[in-house]
Amino acid sequence: MENQQSEEKKEEAKETKDVKVIKIGKIVVDRNLCIGAASCIAVAPGVFELDSENKAVVYNPKGADDETILLAAKSCPTLAISVFDEEGNQIYP
Binding site for ligand SF4 (CB under 6 A): 29, 34-40, 48, 56, 75-76, 78, 80-81
Nearer to ligand SF4, 12 or 36 (CB): 36
Minimum separation from the CB atom of position 61 to ligand SF4 (A) = 14
Using DSSP, state whether 22 is helix, strand or coil.
coil
Q: Which is nearer to ligand SF4, 6 or 32 (CB)?
A: 32
Half-sphere exposure of 36 (CA within 13 A, CB side): 6
Between 13 and 57, CB nearer to ligand SF4: 57
Distance in angstroms between the alpha carbons of the first and the last residue of the chain? 46
Backbone angles phi, psi at 43, to 5 degrees: -80, -45
